[in-house]
Amino acid sequence: MRIKRARPGEVLRRNCSQNIEYLTFPILEETEIVDHLFSTRIGGASEGIFQSMNLSYTRGDKKEAVDENFRRIAGVLGREVEDFVCSDQTHTTNIRKVTEKDRGKGVLSEKDYAEIDGLITDEPGLVLSTFYADCVPLYFVDPVHRAIGLSHSGWRGTVSRMGVCTLSAMKEEYGTKAEDVIVAIGPSICGECYEVSEDVVLEFQREFKDVNLEFLYEKGEGKYLLDLWKANYRILIEGGVLPEHISVTDICTCCNPDYLFSHRASLGKRGNLGAFMSLRNA
- Name the strand (E) or helix (H) holding 155: helix 155-159
143 in a structural domain: yes
Beta carbons within 8 Å of 35's beta carbon, 6+ residues apart: 77, 78, 79, 277, 278, 280
Rounded-to-integer distance, Cα 74 and Cα 33, Å: 18
234 in a structural domain: no
> 142 is in which domain, residue-wise?
13-189+242-279
44 in a structural domain: yes
Phi-psi region of 33 (alpha: psi -120 to 50; beta: other; left: phi over 0): alpha
CB distance 132 to 185 below 8 Å: no
132 in a structural domain: yes
62 in a structural domain: yes
201 in a structural domain: no
Query: β-strand 147-153 against 13-17: which pairing, if any?
Result: unpaired
63 in a structural domain: yes
207 in a structural domain: no
Q: What is the CATH number of the domain that holds 268?
A: 3.60.140.10
Rounded-to-integer distance, Cα 75 and Cα 133, Å: 23
Rounded-to-integer distance, Cα 152 and Cα 24, Å: 17
Task: Look at the chain and report how many structural domains it folds into.
Answer: 1
pLDDT 10s per residue in the chain (282 long)?
999 999 998 999 999 999 999 999 999 999 999 999 999 999 999 999 999 999 999 999 999 999 999 999 999 999 999 999 999 999 999 999 999 999 999 999 999 999 999 999 999 999 999 999 999 999 999 999 999 999 999 999 999 999 999 999 999 999 999 999 999 999 999 999 999 999 999 999 999 987 679 999 998 888 999 999 999 999 999 999 999 999 999 999 999 999 999 999 999 999 999 999 999 998
